[in-house]
Structure formats: structure tokens, C-alpha cells
Structure 1
Amino acid sequence: MKLKLLLSFSILLTASISQAQDSLTIRKIYDEALVNGQAYDNLHYLCKNIGQRISGSANAQKAVDWSKKLMDSYGFDHVFLQEVMVPHWVRGDKEVAKIIDGDKEIAVPIVALGMSVATPKEGITAEVIEVQSLAELKTLGESVIKGKIVFFNRPFDPRFIETGRAYGTAGDQRFAGPAEAAKYGAVGAIVRSLTEIIDDYPHTGTTRYGDIKIPAAAISTKGANLLSSMLKLKKLPAVKFYFKQNCEQLPDVLSYNVIAELKGTENPNKFITVGGHLDSWDLAEGANDDGTGVMQSLEVLRILKTIGYHPKNSIRAVFFMNEENGDKGGEKYAELAAKNKEEHIAAIETDEGGFTPRGFGFTGLSAAALKNVKQNWKPLLEPYDADKLIAGGGGTDIEPLRTAVPSIILIGYLPDSQRYFDLHHTAKDVFENVNKRELELGSAAMASLIYLIDQHGF
């Protein structure tokens, strides 16, 4: 009995010492991020000296070159590029659109959807059919839709507290709507911007085509509300819509994932990855989508190195290329991980903006393992308000790793979501809309989680 009591006491004492050490290390991580953080200055350079970074563009290559040079300057154990072929879609001259009501013409803001085809040089003018869902297309049929512009006007559902869920439930009209409308003979597609905010900033984003391609654009939410109200009021003659866009798909271009690594002292061929995507849409600077993500990922490595932490497993910061319109960077990273027989323990994606940290979502953890994570790590993260630890998480860039490394745990960084879709894929996604302290807190939260995974596993 005494032996059992001594053993139990020893286990509790060891656990208590470990928790105390973890707490001290996490405090060091936060102190370094908040006092000496460099993510904000690095983001400023990326946004203001390079700017938009759509895949295949000259600016995307400038971002690759600068990112590698920046990583080299920190003296990490290994910095390298991964070659990847990416699509090269260009927007061309600014889009033009107007609602035509008899002799009355009202200009409205639109932007071409990524990967869309152009209109004819003179533009397209046609009657409009408003729908709320893809299923409604089938109900209406070709006899109603053929020769017309389909207007997808399903708004965000404001009841979701996590706004990413609203994006998910509204997103099919942008991803798949134009291709579905084309099947019924539509000559064009206009999609309500994927946001709850009502303003005149249209939100771009990728659309995916089938065999038939028709021009597709996003309309601002104010423009969508106006068009919808006019369609409801006007019977004959029908309200028409005109739009003109000049986008073009060019041949694929060689680009790169940019990777920095701290070598593991015990398990150098076991990896914990943290990353975001270096590319952005072309309407602004790609500050929150996803400049914040890549700069936070790099900051994780810088912090750990600066405080003198020597990881057991190798830790990588990955700047993925081509998340926005193809995910070729994520696919290539997973392909090479499998080819090189790398054992990936976990991967964290940060692609929801540089807002206040809330916590992390986990995919691949058993219920028992998630319970253990909550029990042991929540008290350590709670003082920093980053202790929301839930089932379900990941991201577009790291998702291919599930096939390449089935045992991997995918993790999504969860910042506060209330403002992200006000800016997402718009001309408002600029450096000025990033808060320095929120960005630093996010870097520290991810560095802390990686430290805990590296020390304790799952």
C-alpha cells in the first residue's frame, strides 16, 4: 500500500512540475511575442512593398523571393523552396455593371469571380432570374433560364455565431452556381457577395466550372439588394442586367512553397507544421487573407528560436502558394511529405484573419485524446484567452496531408470571426485593418500550442 501511495505521489509531483515548466515556457512565449514581436512589421512590408499576390503573378514571385530572404535572415536550421505549378488567371480591366430598367440605368459594383471567363468585348445584356439556391435552378428548368442571367441571392444566415459556418452554407452559390446555371442555358451568373455586411464592396473568390463556362461575377450586397427589390417591383418590361469583364486564363506558371524549419533534437524526421497561404486575391493587399497567417507562422519559429527552445520534433513554418484558386501548394506539400516518408504529427493552419485568438479546432483526435487535451492544456491557455479547444478543424492547405499521412492531427487556429467576412476577398483587405496586438497574441497562441504538442504529443 505504501509503495502504491508513493508511486501515486511521485506521478502527481512529476505532473505538477511539468505543468509548472509548461506555464513558465508559455509565459516566455507571450512575453517575446508582445514585447519584441516582428510579425506586424513583416506584414507591413508584405502588404505595402509587395501588395497583392495572386498566383502566377510577378508580385507572387516577389513575395516568394522576399519571404525566403526573410527566413534566411533569422538563421533557422533549414530554409528551402518547393517547386509547384500554379494557375495564372488575370482579371484584366476593371469590371462594369448596371441594372437597366427601361430608359433608366444604375451602375452597381461587381468583380469577376476567380477563374471566370470573360464576357464578349461588348459585354452581356439579358433579363435576370433571381434564385435562392442551386436546387431552384432544376425547378425552373431550361425553358425559364435559357438566355438569361442567373442572379444567386442567398444571404448569410446571421444566426450563426461562428461566421465561417454562414460562409459555408452560402458558399455553394459562388463555388458551383455558375456551372449549374450554365447547364440550363444561362448566359451569365451574378452572385451575391459572401458577407453579412451591407456595403458596396464586392467579394471575389473562386468559381468552379464544368464543361460549359459562362461569365460569372460577384455583386456587392447593396447592389444585390437593389437588384432584388427592382426585380420584385417591376413586371413588364423586364429588368435587365449588363456586365462586362475582361479576365483571362493564361498557361500555368512555376511557383513555390516557402519553408523554414527548426530541426528536432530527438525526432528530426517527425514534423509539426504551422502555415498559411502566401498568395492572395488581386483586389487589395491580402492582409488578413492571408498575410497575417504567414507572418504569424514565421513568428512562431522566430519566438521559439529566440527563447532558446530546442524542439524534440522538427517544426516547420510553411508559406503555401495557390490556396485561393487551386490549392496546388497544399497538394504538392502533401505529395512530397509522402514521397520523402516524413512523419507528420500535426499541422496547424491559420487562414481566418489576424483577429483575437479564441482557441483551436482538432480533426483526427479521438474523444479520449481531445478530453485529455482539454484537461491538461486548457488551464495553461486559459490565462491568455486562447483555451477554446474543440473537435473539428483544419484548413484548405493542410487538408491533403490527411491522405498522405493518415495519422496526422489537423488543427485550425480559431481567431474571433466577427469581422473577417467584412474584409474577405475585397478591396478592404489592407494592412490598416490588422491590429498589432491581436496579431501578436495569435502568434503566441500558436507557438504555445506547438510547444505543448512537441513536449507531450497527444
Structure 2
Amino acid sequence: MKKTFTLILSALLSANLLQAQDSLAIRKFYDEALVNGKAYENLRYLCKNIGPRLSGSAGAQKAVEWSKKLMEGYGFDKVYLQEVMVPHWVRGAKETAFIIDSKNRIAVPIAALGMSVATPKDGITANIIEVRSLKELEALGESVIKGKIVFFNRPFDPRFIETGAAYGTAGDQRFMGPAVAAKYGAVGCIVRSLTEIIDDYPHTGATLADPGTKLIPAAAISTKAADKLSNMLRLRKLPLIKFYFKQSCQLLPDVLSYNVVGELTGTEHPNKFITVGGHLDSWDLAEGAHDDGTGVMQSAEVLRLFKATGYRPKNSVRAVFFMNEENGHKGGTKYAELAAQNKEEHIAAIETDEGGFTPRGFSFSDVSKDFIKKVNDNWKSTLEPYEVDQLTIGGAGTDIEPMKGKVPGVVLIGFRPDSQRYFDLHHSAKDVFENVNKRELQLGAAGIAALIYLIDQHGL
């Protein structure tokens, strides 16, 4: 009995010692991030000196070159580029749109959807049909839709606490709506911006179509203008309301671009990897500060924090700046293909692509309830003092998703900051450096470093 008690006491003391060591290491990451953090000033340079970084653009290439030099300057063990062919879509001249009734032409803000085609040179004028869902569109059919502009006007559902869920349930009208409208003979498509805030900033984003599908011009309309158009359609007879829009976007041949990779080589398991990343590309309406400048700068900052505090990971840790998340996902696909081709063993991959807001925790994709219970039992109390302890089952991220099925054993994890303000800015001209809070950004980088440290020390 005495021997058993001694063994139990020894195990408890050992566990407490390990937890104390973990807490001390994590405290060092936070101190370094909050006192000497570099993510915010790096983000300033990315936003103000480089700016928009849509795949295939000069800005994207400039960002690649600068990012590689940044990580080399930090002295990471390896810094290299992964070649990837990406789409090259350009917006062209600023779009024009009017609501037209019998007496007035009312100008409204729109932005062409990514990968959309241009209107004819003189634009399109047609009657407009308002729908709230793809099912409603399909129920109307070709006899009603043909020759008209389809107006998708389903707003965000405000009942969701996590706003990404509202984005997910409203998003099909942008992702697939134009292609479905084209199938029924529509000549154009206007989509309510995917945001809850009511303002005059259109939010762009990619629209999708299967190869060989007929394409029609498609644009996002600001929420304020969408409400105005909807009210006019409701109060007046349909034939009296027309819509005009003009856009000159085009899809050019694919071009060569790159993922940017920085690595700290593991001291014990150099051939086992933990990846953290975000996407370097951004939409062209603004600076791509929260989407996803914050994510790539946090990813580089994690490795810098390890070096600055003297932490040498057991496993190799990579920061990856993925290219082309916004309109093709080619960078994430290429990273997964190369990992599989090289037979790399990946323990975990973490994506930070939900903005640089106050960190809340992490979501683990495709894991069991028993798994998430064990993660919480082991790590929640360690992360709780930093308020980054919400460890749940959920999505991980677009860029690391292709690793599923290609890279056996990898656990996919999404960094989860507070979501309430993200879609106010997302894909719009408001996504600029000035809307990023320095402390929130650097708390997030330290929180990600803490989780990677725990995974590196204790495994999953």
C-alpha cells in the first residue's frame, strides 16, 4: 500500500512539474510577444508598402519576395519557396451600377465577384428578379428567369453567435448562385454582400462554376443598396424597376507563384512536422489586413518567438504563407501534394485565417469527443490564464484542408479569435491596417505558439 501511495505521489509531482515547466515556457512567449512583438510592424509594411496581393498580381509577387527576406532575416533554419501555378483574374476599371425606375437612375455600389466575366462594353440593363435562395431560383425556372438579372438577397442570420456560421449559411448564393442563374437563362447576377453590417461597402469574393459552365457577369452589391433595391421592388410594379451594371474584369492565363515556407528544424524528430500558416494573397479592394495579413504575420511570429526565447522544438515547425486561398486554393493543394509526395510525417497543421482579433481558442477538425475531452483535460488549465482555452470540435481552414486524406495522421486545427467584427471588414475596402489592434494581434501569435509548444512537447 505504501509503495502504491509513493508511486501515485511521484506521478502527481511529476505531472505538476511538467505543468509548471509548460506554464513557464508559455509565459515567456507571451512576454516576448507583448513587449517585443514584431507581427504588428511587419503587418504595417505588408499592408502599406505592398498593399493588395491578389494571386497573379505584381503585389502578390512583391509580397512573396519580401516574405522570404523577412524569414531569412530572422535566421530560421530553412526558408524556401514552393512553386505553384495560380489563376490571374483582374478587376479592370471600377464597376458602375444603377437602379432604374421610370423617373430616376440611382447609383449603387457594387464590386465584381472574383472569377466573374465582364459585361458587354456598354453594360447590361434588364429587369431584375429578387430571390432568397437557390431553391427559390430553381422553382421559378427558365420561363421567369430568362433574360433577367437575378438578385440574391438572403441576409446573414443574426442568431448565430459565431459569425462564421452565418457566413457559411449565406455563402452559397455567392459561391454557386451566378452559375445556377446562368443555367436558367439569366443575363447577369447581383448578390447581397456577405456581411451583417448595413453600409455602402460591397464585399467581393470568389464565385464558382464547373468547367464548361456558361458564365454570366456577377457582382456583389452593398447591404445598404441591397435593402434599397429590395424595397423598391416590393413597393413598385416589377416592370418599372430595371438594373444596369457594367464591369470589365477578365481572367488571364495562369501564372507562376509561390508558397513561402520558413522552418525551425526539430532537435529530436527533424522529419516530423507541425505546420502553422495563413494565406499571403488578398482581394484587390484593400490591403488584406485581417484577411489574411494577420494570419501570415502571426505564423512567422510563432517561429520568431521560439528563437527569441531560446525554445528549440523537438519536431520541425513550419510557417507557411500559402498563395491563392481567395480564388483557387492552389497553394494549399500544392503544399499537401508535396507533403504526400515526400512522405512527410505531419503531427498537426494549424491555420490562422479568421482575422487578428482577440484570441479565444482552437477548433480541431474531424476528431472524436474522447479526443477533444483529453485535449481539454490536459491543456485547458494551462491555456486558461491567457483566455485562449476554448478547445472544441470544428473547422480548421481552407489551406490545410487538402492535407486530409493525403497526409495520414495529421490533426487539422483552426485558430479561433473573436468573430464579431470580422465580416464587417471581410473582402471589402475596409480591410486595412488601421482596423487591426496591435495587442489583439500579438496575443494571438503567442496563443498559437503556446498550442504548438504543447503539441511539440506532449504530442496529440
TM-score normalised by the shorter chain: which range applies?
A: over 0.9
In 2, Cα distance between the equivalents of 1:352 and 1:387?
Answer: 17
Q: 1:331 aligns with which of 330, 333, 337?
A: 333
Could you tell me how far 1:10 is from its partner in structure 2? 1.4
**Structure 2 residues not aligned, in runs of 5+:** none
Q: 1:311 aligns with which of 310, 313, 322?
A: 313
Alignment of 1:118-129 (within 5 A): 118-129=118-129
Q: Could you say what secondary structure the match of 1:404 adopts?
A: coil
Could you tell me how far 1:181 is from its partner in structure 2? 0.4
Summarize the Cα distance change of 1:170–1:238 in structure 2 as closer, same or farther, 3 Å threshold: same
Contact 1:360/1:393 (CA < 8 Å) preserved in 2? no
Q: Could you say what secondary structure the match of 2:424 adopts?
A: helix
Could you tell me how far 1:366 is from its partner in structure 2? 2.9
In 2, Cα distance between the equivalents of 1:166 and 1:15?
Answer: 42
Q: 1:294 aligns with which of 286, 293, 296?
A: 296
Contact 1:364/1:408 (CA < 8 Å) preserved in 2? no
In 2, Cα distance between the equivalents of 1:125 and 1:366?
Answer: 53
Could you tell me how far 1:137 is from its partner in structure 2? 1.2
1:235 aligns with 2:246: no
1:148-188 per-position Cα deviation (integer Å, ceiling 9, x unaligned)? 00000000000001000000000000000000000100000
- What is aligned with 2:408? 406
In 2, Cα distance between the equivalents of 1:84 and 1:362?
Answer: 27
After the TM superposition, which segments of 4 or more aligned residues of structure 1 sit over 6 Å from their partners? none
- What is aligned with 1:75? 75
1:339-383 per-position Cα deviation (integer Å, ceiling 9, x unaligned)? 111001000000000000000001143322211110121111111
Q: Identity, % of aligned pairs?
A: 76
Contact 2:127/2:238 (CA < 8 Å) preserved in 1? no
Summarize the Cα distance change of 1:413–1:143 in structure 2 as closer, same or farther, 3 Å threshold: same
- The residue identity in structure 2 corresponding to 1:138 is E
Q: Could you say what secondary structure the match of 1:18 adopts?
A: helix
Contact 1:102/1:237 (CA < 8 Å) preserved in 2? no
1:2-44 per-position Cα deviation (integer Å, ceiling 9, x unaligned)? 2222221111111010000001011001000000000000000
In 1, Cα distance between the equivalents of 2:135 and 2:369?
Answer: 36
- What is aligned with 1:322? 324
Summarize the Cα distance change of 1:236–1:324 in structure 2 as closer, same or farther, 3 Å threshold: closer
Q: 2:214 aligns with which of 202, 212, 215?
A: 212
Could you tell me how far 1:404 is from its partner in structure 2? 1.3
1:211-268 per-position Cα deviation (integer Å, ceiling 9, x unaligned)? 1100000000001000000000111643000000000000000000000000001111
Contact 2:195/2:424 (CA < 8 Å) preserved in 1? yes
Q: Which moved more, 1:368-377 or 1:265-274?
A: 368-377
In 2, Cα distance between the equivalents of 1:11 and 1:362?
Answer: 29
1:455 aligns with 2:457: yes
In 2, Cα distance between the equivalents of 1:116 and 1:354?
Answer: 29
Contact 1:68/1:80 (CA < 8 Å) preserved in 2? yes
Contact 2:190/2:218 (CA < 8 Å) preserved in 1? yes
**How many residues are matched?**
458
In 1, Cα distance between the equivalents of 2:315 and 2:423?
Answer: 36
In 2, Cα distance between the equivalents of 1:304 and 1:291?
Answer: 21
In 2, Cα distance between the equivalents of 1:366 and 1:159?
Answer: 27
1:90 aligns with 2:85: no
- What is aligned with 1:256? 258
- What is aligned with 1:15? 15
In 1, Cα distance between the equivalents of 2:181 and 2:434?
Answer: 38
Contact 2:178/2:188 (CA < 8 Å) preserved in 1? yes
- What is aligned with 1:396? 398
Q: Could you say what secondary structure the match of 1:41 adopts?
A: helix
Q: Could you say what secondary structure the match of 1:428 adopts?
A: coil
Alignment of 1:122-271 (within 5 A): 122-210=122-210, 211-235=213-237, 237-271=239-273
Contact 2:129/2:148 (CA < 8 Å) preserved in 1? yes
Q: 1:375 aligns with which of 374, 377, 385?
A: 377
Contact 2:363/2:392 (CA < 8 Å) preserved in 1? yes
Q: Could you say what secondary structure the match of 1:207 adopts?
A: coil
TM-score normalised by structure 2 residue count: 0.99
1:123-151 per-position Cα deviation (integer Å, ceiling 9, x unaligned)? 00000000000001111010000000000
In 1, Cα distance between the equivalents of 2:2 and 2:370?
Answer: 30
Contact 1:179/1:213 (CA < 8 Å) preserved in 2? yes
Could you tell me how far 1:321 is from its partner in structure 2? 0.1
Q: Could you say what secondary structure the match of 1:400 adopts?
A: helix
Could you tell me how far 1:411 is from its partner in structure 2? 0.5
- What is aligned with 2:65? 65
Could you tell me how far 1:209 is from its partner in structure 2? 1.6
Q: Could you say what secondary structure the match of 2:391 adopts?
A: strand
In 1, Cα distance between the equivalents of 2:302 and 2:220?
Answer: 36
- The residue identity in structure 1 corresponding to 2:249 is C
1:27 aligns with 2:27: yes
Q: Could you say what secondary structure the match of 1:331 adopts?
A: helix
Summarize the Cα distance change of 1:383–1:168 in structure 2 as closer, same or farther, 3 Å threshold: same
- RMSD over aligned Cα, in angstroms? 0.8
- The residue identity in structure 2 corresponding to 1:384 is Y
In 2, Cα distance between the equivalents of 1:48 and 1:55?
Answer: 18
TM-score normalised by structure 1 residue count: 0.99
In 2, Cα distance between the equivalents of 1:434 and 1:103?
Answer: 43
Q: Which moved more, 1:386-395 or 1:294-303?
A: 386-395
- What is aligned with 2:100? 100
1:40 aligns with 2:40: yes
In 2, Cα distance between the equivalents of 1:264 and 1:327?
Answer: 28
